[in-house]
Chain A
Amino acid sequence: MNNKRPTIYEEFKAKGYSRREFVTFCSLMGAWLGLEVSGVSQVAKALEAKSRPPIIWLHFQECTCCSESFIRSSHPLVADIILDKISLDYTETLMAAAGHQAEKSLHDTMTNYKGEYILMVEGSIPTKEDGVYCCIGGKTAYDIMQEVAEGAKAIIAWGSCATNGCVQAAAPNPTGAAPVGKVIHGKPIINVPGCPPIAEVMAGVVVHLLAFDRIPALDSQNRPKSFYSRRVHDTCYRRPNYDAGLFVETFDDENAKKGYCLYKMGCKGPNTYNACGVIRWNNGVSFPIQSGHPCIGCSENNFWDNGPFYEHLKSFPGFGIESTADKVGLGLGIATGAALGAHAVATNIRKRKLIIKGRKEIEAESSND
């Protein structure tokens, strides 16, 4: 790493943070990342010794909610060092430079730190009509992505857009929006899904990269295991109500007031892997379920196409919007029952003939004997 750059700890001090705040931050990060106690001092030592790696943060088809979430990290140190100083490198939303200057700074970072910089991507990349649906500085998102990814050490895909396409990729996906993993191959990609991801999760992933110089343990979908290995359902404080069979039936009933389980309101917690129930949002103040709203499963692949937010079953294709598997199944059950009834009637009419026929045959045979 370039020694001319100040270390991360020096940057902290320059910003006016105390040693105590720094250690608190390291402990928090250690806890979120699930490190053992000795790991905390490793984090602290690494941040004292290392300088911040150059970072390029690209924005494509997105709403910037990932950046918004990131700057609201409960402990502001990471957001501070990365976002305040990020104008040194490149990010469309927050950098000071504009126009040709901005393009130059992107170019400089790419050439000066080839193979060293970390590429962070917010947003999906349109692939239809040669990618014309998202162009920056005269280049398509697709081309920019290929160019910048080339020299990146690692890529972090922020949010659902960059990890699975999010709403742009929802059916019928008019722009052919694709996540980073579909357009870039052969580079380590860390997927951090969520709409947006939790600020502390984003910070945790960055700190892991900074402190250990390697990618955190990832699951089969390239999500960091420390944050995405458990279901919201299994870490939900309302879970005892689920096991007790106590459910909110409507949003304004007594059960809702008592804080019962939101499963019947379409809560996607049982199908969603995220850390909302543990880390929560806005400095641990709350998370959707705590605020009385079912989880919409925003960190799951294609969550926009996974059925209505307030119902648990998808609508059944070809049978209208209101039809669920249960309604179709029940309809088929009734139809089957009716068909069986008709068949039974026909059988009985036929059976009279068979009985008479059978009896005659047997009688004929016994009289022959």
Chain B
Amino acid sequence: MEQNILKLDPKLKLVYVWQQPVRIFHWVNALAVLMLCITGYLIGAPLAIQHGTEASFNYWFGIIRAIHFIAGYVFFFNFIFRLYWGFVGNEYSKWDNYVPYKKKQWKGIWEVLKVDIFQLKLGPYETIGHNSLASTTYFMTFIAFIFQSLTGFGLYAAMSPSWFPKLFSWFVPLVGGDMAARHLHHLLMWVFILFAMIHIYLVFYHDYIERNGVTSSMIGGWKFIEVNEDEDKMNED
């Protein structure tokens, strides 16, 4: 029994990393992306459902599409909100975490690759907010978000009476028409699915190996971080 109880590392401190708006964004986004992927996949490859009734008695595919479009709106405005928060939020949610324009960030990416992915070095490589590799990956997903919104609303514009999707219709001819836009939209869905797989795995991995409570940090906002006396070390990350 005694053996199984590990004393809390005295160097670990609780740090409030994710502010509430960031957490809300995360979960709204997660839900929207989940809905979008499920309904999007079904729109691409509808189930073979047999009915004895006339078309006027059924509307399941229409509902699938309606969910997709509603989730699309939620996803888009939630994303816009997060971009805004990238300018007014705390140091861990600021935009400059994500855009890898500093040499230090590229060095950080290499460190994380060595420690976490290729397991060449025994870790842990700890950072308070996102590590450099994660932030760069999020930056790339944000670019995917933009393309997914442009193609999605661009395609939706043709069937919507609303003015809003029409703001995106200029994009479709740029990629070569509806068919090409549809293809790009479909490919990006797979990028989201692959991202989600790796993202969830790595969150569990970090929680498991570093015991920093990263999984629950997206619920409560707190992370257990080893805070050194050396303040500079902390600020560097």
Contact = CB atoms under 8 A, between A and B. Distances in A.
Interface of A: 220-221, 230-231, 233-234, 240-247, 249, 255, 260, 263-264, 268, 270-273, 297, 300-303, 306-307, 312-314, 325-326, 328-329, 332-333, 336-337, 340, 343-344, 346-347, 350-351, 353-355, 358-359, 361-363, 365-366
Contacts of B205: 343-344, 347
Contact of B159 (A234, A241, A333): A234
Given A243-B55, A243-B62, 14 more contacts: A221-B173, A231-B178, A234-B158, A234-B159, A244-B59, A245-B60, A245-B62, A246-B51, A263-B46, A268-B179, A307-B183, A336-B198, A350-B122, A354-B209
A326 B185 CA distance: 12
Contacts of B47: 245
Contacts of B190: 325-326, 328-329, 332-333
A246 B55 contact: yes
Interface string B39-70: 00000111111110001111111101100000
25 contacts: A220-B173, A231-B178, A234-B158, A240-B56, A243-B55, A243-B62, A243-B65, A244-B60, A245-B60, A246-B51, A260-B55, A263-B46, A300-B179, A302-B176, A325-B190, A328-B190, A329-B187, A332-B190, A332-B194, A333-B193, A340-B201, A344-B201, A347-B209, A350-B209, A365-B10
Given A221-B173, A301-B177, A332-B190, A313 B158 contact: no
Contacts, number: 138
Contacts of A365: 10
Interface string B198-227: 100100010011000000000000000000
B61 A242 contact: yes
Contact of A300 (B48, B51, B58, B178): B178
Contact of B44 (A255, A312, A333, A340): A312
B119 A329 contact: no
Contacts of A355: 6
A351 B208 contact: yes
B133 to A, nearest CB: 14
B236 interface: no
Contacts of A332: 190, 194
Nearest to B6: A359
Interface string B117-131: 101001000000000
B145 to A, nearest CB: 18
A102 B155 CA distance: 47
B9 interface: yes
Contact of A245 (B49, B186, B189): B49
Contacts of B103: none
Interface residues on B, range: 35 or more
Nearest to A328: B190
B77 interface: no
A271 B179 contact: yes
Contact of B179 (A307, A347, A363): A307
B118 to A, nearest CB: 10
Contacts of A361: 9
Nearest to B57: A244
A103 to B, nearest CB: 38
Contact of B61 (A221, A243, A337, A366): A243
Contacts of A312: 44
B170 interface: yes
Given A300-B178, A362-B9, A244 B173 contact: no
B158 A231 contact: yes
Nearest to B183: A314
Interface of B: 6-7, 9-10, 44-51, 55-62, 64-65, 117, 119, 122, 158-159, 170, 173, 176-180, 182-183, 186-187, 189-190, 193-194, 197-198, 201, 205, 208-209
| Secondary structure of the A contact surface, majority rule | helix
B197 A329 contact: no
Nearest to A359: B6
A314 B62 CA distance: 24
Closest 5 A/B residue pairs (Cβ): A329-B190, A245-B61, A244-B58, A271-B178, A243-B62
Contacts of A333: 190, 193-194, 197
Contacts of A306: 177, 179-180
A260 B58 CA distance: 13
Contacts of A350: 119, 122, 209
A325 B55 contact: no
Nearest to A366: B7
A313 B40 CA distance: 13
B194 A340 contact: no
Contact of A326 (B44, B48, B122, B173): B44
B122 A354 contact: yes
Contacts of A231: 158-159, 178
A354 B49 CA distance: 52
A272 B189 CA distance: 22
A337 B55 CA distance: 40
Contacts of A303: 179
